[in-house]
Amino acid sequence: MLKDSRVGWIFIGLSLFLGLSSLGYLLGDAAIRFKEYERTVTVKGLSEREYKADIVIWPIQFTTAGNDLAKVYSSIDQSTENITAFLKHAGIDETEISFSSPAITDKSAQQYGGQSQPEFRYTASQSVTVYSANIDTVRKLMKRMSELGKQGIVFTGDSYQSQIEYLFTRLNEVKPEMIEEATRKAREVAEKFAADSKSSLGKIRSASQGQFSISERDKNNPHIKKVRVVSTVAYYLSD
């Protein structure tokens, strides 16, 4: 009876040993396979294109000065009419033209003791702004501003308010195609890396789309926009 009991315990011990050994082998093999499966490569794909702006915002700021406030206002009104007529005659629609309120400065009210009397008491400025999708027409008009200058209109082009702005508003239209291109280029880089390392490219492990950026192509062509996006993709590698 005792002998049978020992044989039973020995059998159980051998079974446990073999079972644990097999389990250890399987777990080790699984760990190795998992480690091999975790081999990845992370690459970036760039899509960069140039598009023409589709909206231009053109503030035309001008000034006048005088000692008679009523005449200063009349001068502002006359200059506004001349600029508006000039724009309409060139093909700019009335709905694309807007006006700011005139800003009047009384220099005598700003004087302090000991200062000399200014030549003109009042100075006034106003802006006529063009908001248009007709980029080519507006750019041609910019080169003809001397025609208005000959009418006695004094322009100010060195302030922040008078800076011309070009907008590209069709980003949502070009996004899908650019993302596809960036992802395709990322895969091309990954395939080249896999080939050089004598590996095979697997499925995508993770992917992230960078932010789209819109900038001027150069200072001389602000109406040409450079649209750019970078996609980052991680792929699995296998032997």
Q: What is the pLDDT of residues 52-102, one digit of tens each?
A: 999 999 999 999 999 999 999 999 999 999 999 999 999 999 999 999 999
| One-letter amino acid for residue 67 of the chain | N
pLDDT of the residue at 27: 40
- Contact status, residue 36 vs residue 118, Cβ threshold 8 Å: no
Name 127's Cβ contacts closer than 8 Å, sequence gap at least 6.
59, 60, 61, 62, 99, 100, 161, 162
- Name which residue leads in pLDDT, 82 or 25: 82
Q: How far apart are CA 49 and CA 214, in angstroms?
A: 10
Question: Which whole-number Å values give the CA distances from 209 to 49, 58, 63, 107, in the listed order?
Answer: 16, 34, 48, 56
CATH class of the region 39-53+168-239 = alpha beta
User: Into which CATH architecture does domain 55-167 fall?
Assistant: 2-Layer Sandwich (3.30)
Average pLDDT over residues 29-33: 42
pTM for this structure? 0.74
Summarised one tens digit per residue, pLDDT across range 96-143 is 999 999 999 888 766 555 566 778 889 999 999 999 999 999 999 999
Kindly give the pairing relationship between strand 103-106 and strand 55-66.
Answer: unpaired
Which among 94, 87, 84 has a CA at the least distance from the CA of 138? Answer: 87
Q: Do domains 39-53+168-239 and 55-167 have the same CATH topology?
A: no
End-to-end CA distance of the chain: 57
Of residues 228, 229, 234, the one with CA closest to residue 207: 234
Distance CA 212, CA 228 (A): 6
Average pLDDT of the chain is 84
What residues does each domain of the chain span? 1-38, 39-53+168-239, 55-167
